[in-house]
A and B are shown apart, each in its own frame.
Chain A
Amino acid sequence: MPDQPAAWVYTVARNAGVDRLRRESAAQRRLSTQARVLEAGTTERLDSASTADAPVAIAEYGQVGDEQLRLMLLCCHPALGREAQVALTLRLAGGLTTAEIAQAYVVPEATIAQRLVRAKRKIRAANIPLTIPADLSERAEVLTAVLGAIFNEGYLAHSAAAGTLTRADLADQAILLTATAADALPDEPELAGLLALELFHRSRDAARVDRDGALVRLQDQDRTLWDRSMIARGYAVLAHALSRRALGPWQVQALIAAEHTRERTDWERVVRYHDVLITMGPSTVAQLSRAIAVAEVDGPESALTDVDRITGLERYHLFHAARADLLERSGRAEEAALAWDRAAGLTANPAEAAYVALRRASAATAARRDLGPIPRPRDF
């Protein structure tokens, strides 16, 4: 393993595809011009506002030497909204065009253009400084969340129009940016935690959908299709992060994802990791995820009790899918069919929708024939 695991990943991932390379070089070209576009817009106003003072729009490099990282940190100013942070990061640090971002998020190009214009307007009007703060921790935290959101969007498209389950381009973009940031900021191990998480998820890409584009559950996946070298890289990056002894929610999520790459998942350990995760920040999604692990340890009835205690996820399709699955495994097929109904109404991704429809139909059949429980999903 080289000294800078993330840089190694960056190189390997960069060689992953011809298309990738094409975009990379384009990104390099755009990078410097975009930085100037953003700064020019700001300096202009500063100049007209006070000609006496020289504009301070030129960022200070400080401990951060990498241009791409510098741009990422600027785009992740906490005073900007999450959508603006994401759009700016992809545009300026990722080098994607407005059209490419719009395509990835399945929204009209004008929507992304508008977000960028509004963000730049706020940067100007509120005089958000284009400098890197001395204390990077808050900015790094925002950056980690932004990169995590970009990866999630790519890994599992929310939109029905996206068509396929994975939009590899966006996920790869997130991995590249996360690797760059994690390398440059070793004192922020949450970035490396996120990178490991991304690698573990991405390693299963080829196995997550079958030839017809249908979703394949984790336990049914052909493990020979998993990218073993990517998993190995995930472990190396995670080990590196954990050695900094500053545990955070992204590292814990990576630990959970790592557990799922093993031959046999230690579910008790998965439950314990979730306990740690929940103490770090109360999250109903983490509670749901914990309950799913509890089902493997204490059985579906016990998990169902936990799930029914969760409030606030009524609009989340996986909440109903998990409930439906647990009900089915508890032999309550009729209630399960109703829960699958609810999940179906909230599922936008076509691959997920097809899966939910399939499960709904089989639960309905089971309810009619009063058949026993049938297998369950785990990896949505």
Chain B
Amino acid sequence: MKYLLILASDPSLPSPEPGDAGFEAYMAAWSEYTQALTAAGAHHSGEALQPAETATTVRHDAGATTVMDGPFAELKEHLGGYYLIDVDTLDDAIEWARRVPIGTGSVEVRPVFPTDEF
């Protein structure tokens, strides 16, 4: 069963930039996590996203569309990336969500609609 892990964190919190002392360790943690997912046969896909300031939202209102600057929801925590994983149960998905090296932030676990039901 597929679950989308939606990663969000507060952009005002410091995160290591290329060239910073902790940057390599930070990147290594992410790469280790992705490798662990792959090794467990749970990895489907995943990407890191550009900051929320780069987002554009196309709002649909019964056929009419409006293009707006910014993400669709103004929250303290911004969407920063995702993993699509394939595991047996929600408990497995929660375990993987616990292991995301996000530092401080949130990981929403959302079950994907099973396509073989359509």
Contacts of B14 on A, CB cut-off 8 Å?
A: none
Contact B117 A127 (CB under 8 A): no
Contacts of A126 on B, CB cut-off 8 Å?
A: 90, 109, 111
Contact B90 A79 (CB under 8 A): yes
Contact A127 B94 (CB under 8 A): no
Asked if A48 is at the interface of the complex by the 8 Å CB criterion, the answer is yes
Contact A48 B90 (CB under 8 A): no
Asked if B47 is at the interface of the complex by the 8 Å CB criterion, the answer is no
Q: How many residues of A contact B (CB 8 A)?
A: 12
Contact A49 B117 (CB under 8 A): yes
Q: How many residues of B contact A (CB 8 A)?
A: 11
User: Smallest Cβ distance from A132 to chain B, in angstroms?
Assistant: 11
Contacts of A127 on B, CB cut-off 8 Å?
A: 1, 88-90, 111
**Distance in angstroms between the alpha carbons of A355 and B69 in the assembled complex:** 56
Interface members, chain B 78-118 (any A CB < 8 Å):
88-91, 94, 109, 111, 114, 116-117
**Distance in angstroms between the alpha carbons of A131 and B116 in the assembled complex:** 25
- Which of B88, B89, B91, B111 meets A125, CB within 8 Å? B111
Interface members, chain A 272-321 (any B CB < 8 Å):
none
Contact A128 B89 (CB under 8 A): yes
User: Smallest Cβ distance from A317 to chain B, in angstroms?
Assistant: 30
**SS of B interface (majority):** mixed
Contacts of A49 on B, CB cut-off 8 Å?
A: 1, 114, 116-117
- Which of B91, B114, B117 meets A128, CB within 8 Å? B91
Contact B91 A48 (CB under 8 A): no
- CB nearest to B114 among chain A residues: A49
Contacts of B90 on A, CB cut-off 8 Å?
A: 79, 126-129
User: Smallest Cβ distance from B96 to chain A, in angstroms?
Assistant: 14
User: Smallest Cβ distance from A97 to chain B, in angstroms?
Assistant: 28
Contacts of B1 on A, CB cut-off 8 Å?
A: 49, 127
User: Smallest Cβ distance from B99 to chain A, in angstroms?
Assistant: 15
Contacts of B116 on A, CB cut-off 8 Å?
A: 49-50
Chain A window 115-134, contacts with chain B (Cβ cutoff 8 Å), 1 for yes, 0 for no: 00000000001111101010
Chosen A-B contacts, 16 in total, with CB atoms closer than 8 Å, are: A48-B117, A49-B114, A50-B116, A126-B109, A126-B111, A127-B1, A127-B88, A127-B90, A127-B111, A128-B90, A129-B88, A129-B89, A129-B90, A129-B91, A131-B91, A133-B91
Interface residues of B (CB under 8 A from A): 1, 88-91, 94, 109, 111, 114, 116-117
